[in-house]
């Protein structure tokens, strides 16, 4: 495999539009939020090649991307999608709860006062 097929992980993430800037990509890698073939990427200079599987953790979402090509530039999103194959599991719909979830219960009268109760308290204290 030629050396030109390999690319720095921070450049590749930037070209694939996973992050907005190359410096953010480097911070993401150094923070340990990127794995290359199940191994944590420790430096922004780590190399990726076609066939590698990346696991990227971004804001409560996990992406699993298979690298298909090396990037040449940060182009439009259609061009960026040709760099990887998305193998991520589908996101959980927001309305769905796990079946064993217990609804939050709070005793009546505990917590913050209602607007009506606050006005009554203000009248009692004399602050109008």
DSSP string, 35-59: EETTEEP-STT-EE-TT-EEEEEET
Q: Is residue 117 part of a domain?
A: no
Q: Is residue 25 part of a domain?
A: yes
How many domains is the chain partitioned into structurally? 1
pLDDT in tens, the chain (128 residues): 455 689 999 999 999 999 999 999 999 999 999 999 999 999 999 999 999 999 999 888 899 999 999 999 999 999 999 999 999 988 767 666 566 666 667 677 778 888 998 899 899 888 76
Q: Is residue 67 part of a domain?
A: yes
Domain containing residue 57: 3-86
3-state helix, strand, coil in the chain (%, to 5): 30, 20, 50
Q: Is residue 53 part of a domain?
A: yes
Q: Is residue 100 part of a domain?
A: no
Q: Is residue 128 part of a domain?
A: no
State the pLDDT at residue 3. Answer: 59
Cα 41 to Cα 10, 63, 69, 79, 118: the distances in Å are 10, 15, 19, 25, 54
Dist CA 62 CA 34 (whole Å) = 10
Q: Which residues contact 66 (CB under 8 A, 6 or more apart)?
A: 51, 52, 53, 54, 84, 85, 87
CATH number at residue 77: 3.10.290.10
Q: Is residue 101 part of a domain?
A: no
Q: Is residue 107 part of a domain?
A: no
β-strand 39-40 against 47-48: which pairing, if any?
unpaired
């Amino acid at each position: 495999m030629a050396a030109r097929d390999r690319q720095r992980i921070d450049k590749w993430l930037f070209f694939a539009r996973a992050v907005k800037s190359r410096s953010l990509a480097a911070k993401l890698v150094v923070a340990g939020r990127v794995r290359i073939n199940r191994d944590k990427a420790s430096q922004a200079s780590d190399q990726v090649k076609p066939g590698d599987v990346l696991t990227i953790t971004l804001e409560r979402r996990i992406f699993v991307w298979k690298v298909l090509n090396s990037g040449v530039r940060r182009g439009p999103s259609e061009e960026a999608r040709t760099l990887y194959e998305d193998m991520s599991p589908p996101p959980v719909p927001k309305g769905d709860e796990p079946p064993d979830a217990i609804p939050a219960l709070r005793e009546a009268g505990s917590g913050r006062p209602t607007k009506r109760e606050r006005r009554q308290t203000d009248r009692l204290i004399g602050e109008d």
